[in-house]
Amino acid sequence: MRVLLDECVTRHLKREFIGQEVHTVEEAGLKGLQNGRLLQAASGKYDVLVTVDQNVRYQQNFNATTIAVIILKARRSTYPLLKPLMPKVLALIARMKPGEVVVVD
């Protein structure tokens, strides 16, 4: 599975995606792209976008994309607060479909 970590997600979380191909937005050359443009650029290259942006699910039409989105919900987007969510994230990744949006808290 090809996973893209949004700019707002700490890069330290990358090490938790064991067995997955994971890139940060910066590594993928997509830094600075916002919501819709990021989704368009990542579609077809990545299977899942991981973000902490709670509003993205209300701002975009995911039916037109080939990428699934996981929204991490924590008090802050720090590694210690996001790491406990990873078992749920890893279980979800394998069965997500394009255009699907899931909140993990």
pLDDT of residue 78: 96
Q: Which pLDDT band holds residue 57 (cuts at 50, 70, 90)?
A: confident
Going by pLDDT thresholds of 50, 70 and 90, the confidence category of residue 11 is: very high
Q: How far apart are the first and last CA of the chain?
A: 21
Contacts of 7 (CB under 8 A, 6+ apart): 24, 25, 26, 31
Regarding pTM above 0.85, the answer is yes
pLDDT band for position 33 (cuts 50, 70, 90) = very high
Q: Tens of pLDDT along 70-82? A: 999 999 999 999 9
Q: Bridge partners of 79?
A: none
Mean confidence (pLDDT) of the chain = 93
Answer yes or no: is pLDDT of 26 > 80.
yes
